[in-house]
Structure 1
């Protein structure tokens, strides 16, 4: 892809996310009208991290707009793995709860993987369990990790050719970098996984038709790393509304670039709500 005026076109997630939430709201109302079941998302927050609390509030506000019920569970920062697992198991067994979100990161004393695995796969609407990861890897039905799933939807909406493209993913988190690569691979892209310790990283990035930056370091990816006309997805969010990509430099080289904020972030929440309605419909059909 090439840029006509040497300035990347922004890949904005805000409007697409609003459409997704509106469609989820229609489906949620239909389910409630026909069955009396209102889709419900339970958000679990451990501790009092201000950023995490803000994220949870934002997700609950969006849920309300989509006609999705929300349950908030706030546990003290001193919570143990066992206590958190017990709470997530209780929610997994609650028939009135259709989706469960564990806000991460959790305090250091908690085994985060053990906590994620306490979420029933049928309610893993954030796509964080090993079951969901396996479904993404094998191309089977299941919930997608919300940020990678949102990225794929954004790329598809902007008609980015994925089949045969070389995608370089910078980051290897089990809920962002790794599943992003798996979903791109399932779309017939050729995927190179890299991270902050990869040797010769700029040269590898320069080969990419599509770059997904998910490394958690502000302004980490520089414009000179990019192939002219590359599609750049900045999945990072750092203090001061700064992404993982140096936006000004990248905009002069890339053809498409997600802004921070307003790019990937809204897509993450929209997919979470869409998958909560999916879960409610599936659970209601089974019951």
Structure 2
């Protein structure tokens, strides 16, 4: 890539729209065959403004995809045990096909314990240990939605991870770790980086594919991007700022995701697609 060129933007908004349209068609076919509409239950503890907005947006997307949404709002004082009881009840409810616990659920909540109360067949957000294990071993299950969306974006832009060096900056249980496993399954050589990585810049410079998922604004600088690399910015920070310094990175990368409009829309699209997958499996019908 010459110095005067800029990277092609990876349009997550457009791809997500197509996935939701396909999901709506699948949901309609399921409803016609079973008289049951796929249902996603959203659970929110407290009234954090950002979380309220995210849940409202997800429910609006459900409506566009022909999916029923059932919202369970719990007070901020809800205990871990009470949250576990709520999630267990939804797991046993045959009218609910997928469950989303909006996180963070609060500092007083043991989120791992809460996540594990979600039945694996309804874990459409891919947050349980069962889902992570199934994904890591290539077994049937649900992937974490943001990593799943990233893989769909790479496929859309004909990025084959096989033989490529992928550097994942971040090691969270629902983003960093699972995207690394998904890329490994596609024969990439994967390096995980984190807050204790020595000379992060030097590692990033070797990457053919950069996944920024650490939640620190503009941590990845443009001068650290290998010319022609693919840059996926999964970070979202105040002021619509990602983890990558977009303006400088765009002059060196071949492909790059914008923030917003890149990874974010894909996360919701995968959530809805997996909800319809879950409904199809639970109802015993073809979901395609």
Q: Same fold (TM over 0.5)?
A: yes
The secondary structure found in structure 1 opposite 2:232 is strand
Gaps of 5+ in 1: none
The secondary structure found in structure 2 opposite 1:280 is helix
Q: Distance in 1 between matches of 2:194 and 2:252?
A: 22
| Counterpart for residue 275 of structure 1 | 274
Matched, 1:265 2:272: no
Deviation at 1:3, TM superposition (A): 6.4
| Counterpart for residue 117 of structure 2 | 118
Deviation at 1:216, TM superposition (A): 0.3
TM-score, scaled relative to structure 1: 0.98
TM-score, scaled relative to structure 2: 0.97
Aligned residues: 285
| 1:116-137 CA-partner distances (Å, limit 9, x unpaired) | 0000000000000000000111
Matched, 1:174 2:173: yes
Q: Distance in 2 between matches of 1:4 and 1:13?
A: 25
Q: Distance in 2 between matches of 1:250 and 1:123?
A: 39
Deviation at 1:4, TM superposition (A): 8.5
| Counterpart for residue 108 of structure 1 | 107
Contact in 1 for aligned 2:41/2:69 (Cα 8 Å): yes
| 1:56-109 CA-partner distances (Å, limit 9, x unpaired) | 000000000111000001111111000000000000000000000000011111
Contact in 2 for aligned 1:150/1:267 (Cα 8 Å): yes
Deviation at 1:212, TM superposition (A): 0.1
Contact in 1 for aligned 2:3/2:251 (Cα 8 Å): no
| Counterpart for residue 188 of structure 1 | 187
| Counterpart for residue 238 of structure 1 | 237
Q: Distance in 1 between matches of 2:195 and 2:184?
A: 21
The secondary structure found in structure 1 opposite 2:126 is coil
Q: Distance in 2 between matches of 1:229 and 1:4?
A: 11
The secondary structure found in structure 2 opposite 1:56 is helix
Matched, 1:17 2:16: yes
Q: Distance in 2 between matches of 1:57 and 1:43?
A: 10
| Counterpart for residue 77 of structure 1 | 76
Q: Distance in 2 between matches of 1:247 and 1:197?
A: 24
Alignment of 1:15-164 (within 5 A): 15-164=14-163
Q: Distance in 1 between matches of 2:161 and 2:73?
A: 41
Matched, 1:212 2:211: yes
Which runs of 4 or more aligned residues in structure 1 lie more than 3 Å from their structure 2 counterparts after TM superposition?
2-5
Gaps of 5+ in 2: none
Q: Distance in 2 between matches of 1:256 and 1:236?
A: 16
The secondary structure found in structure 1 opposite 2:29 is helix
The secondary structure found in structure 2 opposite 1:136 is helix
The secondary structure found in structure 1 opposite 2:253 is coil
Contact in 2 for aligned 1:25/1:68 (Cα 8 Å): yes
